[in-house]
Structure 1
Amino acid sequence: MASSPQTTPAPTRTASESSWAASRGPVPPHAHAHGRCPVTGAESHDYCPPQADDSRSPCPALNTLANHGYLPRDGKCITPAVLVHALRAGYHLSLPLAWFLTHGGFYLLGQRRKRICLRDLSRHNCIEHNASLVHPDVAYRDEYAPVDVHLHMLEDLLRYSTDGALMTPDDVARVRVVREAAYAVPMDKVHAEIARGEMAIVLQLFNNPDNLSPPAPRAPLLTRIRRVFAPQPPAPPPPAPLPGVPNHMLRVWMHEERLPDGWTPYHRVGLLHTIRMATRLRRSMRALHTEQRKAGRTRSKTIDGAVAALIPALTIATPDAEARRPSVVVETGDVGGEPLADERANKTTVDSPTALDTPRSTMTRNSTLASSASSDGLRTPLDVPLPAPALSGGGVKESVYPVREEEEGILDMIRERARMIEVVE
């Protein structure tokens, strides 16, 4: 019996390939041999998504240069000279900035004056770092980090846009503070500066003005010479850049790793510009850290004040000798004084704690909240005069002091703040 012919399942198309197919037709399977694309042409900078054997990095900027042919399309055998040329041609970076990024990256990778592939950039804690805005962290005991952008992380990043249209430097600073706050160990200074520098360059690359016209073609040499000697009217001032990056450009560039449609660099991004933007991000992050610390101290003072005001109504707890835990009681012993009215109305012994239906609270004698209230001049439970009923067996009688319903919220704050208050229902 003849066997049925086996069919090879079609490869799953990525989001980048789907976008390319929607605008330019289906992409035939091919290989980027020697870094050249047989579909777009050897000298073309049209977009082509990465193929199966191509090398890619966690950096959307370099992946985009490879997808457009400024770098070898397979992402392999990249020398410092090739990378400097690609950064200048694709993103219009200045020579000092392109040289600094290239040789600084090769130095961190330990590949000085050697060839690299884009996958080398995913080696953990060389250039790649934790707390990325669109990439998950490296897995435990893995040497290389993931290179795929997670769409849900990108959408979380764009949600920090204040107006929903632009991602400003203040928005980037806020999301970096939130992202780094999720780690118990702070980032080291080198990788923290790398993280700010990455977004500093992005904020200056894609902030094209809305009314930007495409650049005029270069005039012939004779025409340029005539313009030097002939009087020319003053040139109009260049349009002001946007205060941030449009979200739709950021989404296309980071997720699909291609240059946005119609985008062209309208100004040169220099090293000093990048340093100034990174400094602005660092100052904004420091201001946010200071604001958070002040807000935390304000909340602490507010809670402490509410607790101190409630302390006179709280009970004195006596440790239970058997269970070694605070008891929900009020001591009445040999100290003189009249009991409070609420206390007289709800007096009971610890042997019958179910006599009360209201929540009850406890506090130990060495509570820091009680000591802080004493320092504020407030009356604490230790100062409340307690009655001394005559008991046949002598000793101290214990009664329960109820807490009013409107005070339950404060008790919850006390329990979180001091870890010494227990609410019993």
Structure 2
Amino acid sequence: MSLPEGHPTVHEHWGRKCPVTGDSHDFCPPQEGDIRSVCPALNTMANHGYIARDGKNISAQDIVVGLKACYGLSNPLAYFLSYVGFIILRKFRRISLAEIGKHGAVEHDASLVHHDTPEGQEYAPIAIDPALVETFIADVRPTAKEVQGSTEDGVEFLMNAEDVGRSRVRREKECRPVDAIHAEIARGEMAIILGVWEKKTRTKAGIPVDWVQRWISEERLPEGWKPDHTENLLDVVKRAKSIKAAADMIRQEEAANVPPPKPV
């Protein structure tokens, strides 16, 4: 059966090779037989050919090289994320992206866009829930000045650490409890991208909301974007602390607003 006119060419990926994009880092979605993970950052790297496009036979060093080239991460940060991740997974050879989703290793409950791992399952679901994406984006609270300037051409709404903290509080109430280590991992995931894509306007510092939405739902980079600085481990630690501080403040405010129980 022939494909409809305009339908993307169905093809096979072999490692980093793509017959449609060639040797470029142009976006190509996963094809039949390709493997993906619960991690949008790694899936995006595969979709752009910074690691194997088929999501298979990937080494820790492949991920190091990909993180540096795709996101501009420093050597120490890239090595830390990749090799510590492999150690937590107890993997010392090449892996497929699916293996990253082993529940309770690097993967955790209360994902911003994935559902918790069903009871008795070894691996987390990789399907992205569009409703969760929309709710995540709705957690962004533009400043009054952003709203006032939104009628101007080129004005972007930005997501910052406070917005991410709000999302973390919401998801951790909706989902199963997350232990301290995995809560730190969850904050670190977003702290990285907050640093990689940070912009500063007259009213706010953060990352463009439309970039986040596209990245986390389509697992692709902003059109034409390239790293413009090196993101290091200290940057990520500072931003993760900012996310935690924002989340703690939101929890305190919510607790203060809870009415006392009625007398029996």
**Where does residue 14 of structure 2 map in the other structure?**
33
Partners in 2 of 1:287 and 1:253 — Cα distance?
A: 28
**Where does residue 185 of structure 2 map in the other structure?**
194
The yes-or-no answer on 1:154 pairing with 2:133 is yes
Native 8 Å contact 2:112 2:171 kept in 1: yes
Q: Deviations over 1:171-208 (max 9, x none)?
A: 1111111211234x631111000000001011112224
Partners in 2 of 1:92 and 1:141 — Cα distance?
A: 38
The yes-or-no answer on 1:204 pairing with 2:195 is yes
**Where does residue 51 of structure 2 map in the other structure?**
71
**Where does residue 57 of structure 1 map in the other structure?**
37
**Which sits farther off after the overlay, 50-59 or 262-271?**
262-271
Partners in 2 of 1:207 and 1:249 — Cα distance?
A: 11
Partners in 2 of 1:111 and 1:242 — Cα distance?
A: 41
Aligned residue pair count = 251
Q: Which amino acid aligns with 2:229?
A: H
Partners in 2 of 1:105 and 1:242 — Cα distance?
A: 33
**Where does residue 153 of structure 2 map in the other structure?**
none
TM-score, structure 1 normalization: 0.56
Q: 1:45 to 1:178 in 2, by over 3 A?
A: same
Q: 1:72 to 1:100 in 2, by over 3 A?
A: same
The yes-or-no answer on 1:263 pairing with 2:254 is no
Q: Deviations over 1:87-131 (max 9, x none)?
A: 00010000000000001110111103x111101111111111110
**Where does residue 134 of structure 1 map in the other structure?**
113
Q: Which amino acid aligns with 1:37?
A: C
Partner of 1:291, secondary structure, is helix
4+ long deviations beyond 4 Å? none
Partners in 2 of 1:78 and 1:254 — Cα distance?
A: 22
Following superposition, the deviation at residue 140 of structure 1 comes to 2.2
TM-score, structure 2 normalization: 0.88
Partner of 1:34, secondary structure, is coil
The yes-or-no answer on 1:291 pairing with 2:253 is yes
Q: 1:160 to 1:40 in 2, by over 3 A?
A: same
Native 8 Å contact 1:167 1:244 kept in 2: yes
Partner of 1:197, secondary structure, is helix
Partners in 2 of 1:34 and 1:292 — Cα distance?
A: 49
Partners in 2 of 1:295 and 1:252 — Cα distance?
A: 35
Partners in 2 of 1:81 and 1:107 — Cα distance?
A: 13
Following superposition, the deviation at residue 34 of structure 1 comes to 3.4
Partners in 1 of 2:200 and 2:257 — Cα distance?
A: 37
Query: Runs of 5+ in structure 1 lacking a partner?
Result: 1-6, 12-20, 211-239, 304-416, 421-425
Q: 1:170-189 counterparts in 2 under 5 A?
A: 170-183=162-175, 186-189=177-180
**Where does residue 376 of structure 1 map in the other structure?**
none
Q: 1:272-421 counterparts in 2 under 5 A?
A: 272-296=234-258, 299-300=259-260, 417-418=262-263, 420=264
**Where does residue 99 of structure 1 map in the other structure?**
79
Q: Deviations over 1:55-111 (max 9, x none)?
A: 100111101110111101101111111110000001000000000000111011110
Native 8 Å contact 1:208 1:266 kept in 2: no
The yes-or-no answer on 1:246 pairing with 2:200 is no
Q: 1:48 to 1:241 in 2, by over 3 A?
A: farther
Q: Which amino acid aligns with 1:199?
A: M
Q: 1:241 to 1:62 in 2, by over 3 A?
A: farther
Following superposition, the deviation at residue 295 of structure 1 comes to 2.5
Native 8 Å contact 1:196 1:282 kept in 2: yes
**Where does residue 123 of structure 2 map in the other structure?**
144
Q: Deviations over 1:247-291 (max 9, x none)?
A: 111111111111111222221110000000001111122222222
- Larger Rg computed on CA atoms: 1
Q: 1:169 to 1:279 in 2, by over 3 A?
A: same
**Where does residue 110 of structure 1 map in the other structure?**
90
Native 8 Å contact 1:50 1:74 kept in 2: yes
Q: 1:242 to 1:54 in 2, by over 3 A?
A: farther
Partner of 2:174, secondary structure, is coil
Following superposition, the deviation at residue 153 of structure 1 comes to 0.5
Query: Runs of 5+ in structure 2 lacking a partner?
Result: 148-156
Q: 1:79 to 1:152 in 2, by over 3 A?
A: same
